[in-house]
Amino acid sequence: MTISQGPDPLPLPQSVLAPLTRAAIFLVVTIKNDAGSFDTIRSFTGDLAGIVRAVEFRDIDAGLSCITAFGSGVWDRLFGSPRPAELHPFREFHAGNRHAPATPGDILFHLRAGRMDICFELATQIMERIADAVEVADEVQGFRYFEDRDLIGFVDGTENPRGDLALQSALVGDEDAAFAGGSYVLIQKYLHDMKAWNALTTEAQERIIGRKKMTDIELDEATKPSNAHSALTVIEVDGKELKILRDNMPFGQPGRGEFGTYFIGYSRTPRVTELMLENMFVGRPPGNYDRLLDFSRAITGGLFFAPSATFLEGVGQEQPAAAALATPPVAASAPVAPSSNKDTSSGTGSLNIGSLKGERNE
């Protein structure tokens, strides 16, 4: 399916730009290393839209959607060439006792709806089709917490772009025309030390986040520290802010002392999100790191590409070209040490992002 706009139809994106929902499931799997398993996934990929429609029809008002994204290590074997221009293994960051690890994952399913039961049903139907071909690396059920707050008590996602800016920020354009309408997806699972966090005063928490806890108003520049979370995650090029689209969700098991945030960011280029992480874990400048990481620990990390719905509907069971099958998997990137961090968001502000544009929402 395509969007007709003049003589050249545009690919139809997956539901990356859909509104935030009350419930979500994040399901990450690895594909078993045999030809039959890859054939199963390839065939299933072309059928997935129909499965989603069948489950969605049971409650149209629930707003069910499923975004499917694939990791660098399996792209060539599944789909051959070409491949998305910036798809690569998750880039690790390591500085002091702060670590953003890379963890296994070949396919990400991001299921969203207004009700958890319909997400659960879709996840069940997906696994019925692919269970014999995959191993589950991680599965998290997320929920909205009061007025879109995370479990540390602050509103999450305030600076999400909207309208045309969301489209420009989250979806690939003409710079990689074969994959226009797709999106790079970076995920991390964070666990919070709630006892230590709650021991802080509200004012100390606000300085770490850079916003008022009750009202969500950003601290003024004279008050907000340079290492506040909201300061380090601002990426500017030539005076314009480059955005990503977040759909983070709280998760946890209070009986087990587990309180967490599942970070998921969609972007036109992974470089924006990676620079945010570098600023957080290494610091801007190095050593001026995000103090939230003294209370929150990343335990997973993955980078995926969510191709357009048009691309997915065109996938069949046929294997890609032999040359693509012979392509060896790309090794994971080495962790980034503190000395490698450059203050690329200051000075000239060059990220070598070229034509990417973004307007800052004041």
Average pLDDT over residues 230-256: 96
CA distance 301 to 247: 16
Average pLDDT over residues 187-202: 98
According to the model, what pLDDT value does residue 331 have? 44
User: What are the angstrom distances between the C-alpha of 145 and each of 18, 51, 151?
Assistant: 19, 29, 7
Output the six-digit token pair for 291.
């103090």
3-state class of 187 per DSSP? strand
- For residue 279, is pLDDT > 80? yes
According to the model, what pLDDT value does residue 337 have? 52
pLDDT band, residue 345 (cuts 50/70/90)? very low
Q: Residues 198-208: pLDDT tens digits? A: 999 999 999 99
Output the six-digit token pair for 281.
């874990």
Closest C-alpha among 108, 254, 258 to residue 183: 108
The phi, psi pair for 324, rounded to 5°, reads: -70, -40
- For residue 193, is pLDDT > 60? yes
Average pLDDT over residues 155-183: 96
Sorted by where each begins, the domain ranges of the chain are 18-315
Q: What is the mean pLDDT of the chain?
A: 89
The phi, psi pair for 63, rounded to 5°, reads: 65, 40
According to the model, what pLDDT value does residue 316 have? 73
354: burial class by Cβ within 10 Å (0-12, 13-18, 19+)? Answer: exposed
The CATH code belonging to domain 18-315 is 3.30.70.1030
Output the six-digit token pair for 303.
């980078």
Q: Residues 94-134: pLDDT tens digits? A: 999 999 999 999 999 999 999 999 999 999 999 999 999 99
pTM: 0.88
Task: Kindly list the catalytic residues.
Answer: 156
According to the model, what pLDDT value does residue 5 have? 45
Closest C-alpha among 236, 223, 232, 351 to residue 287: 232
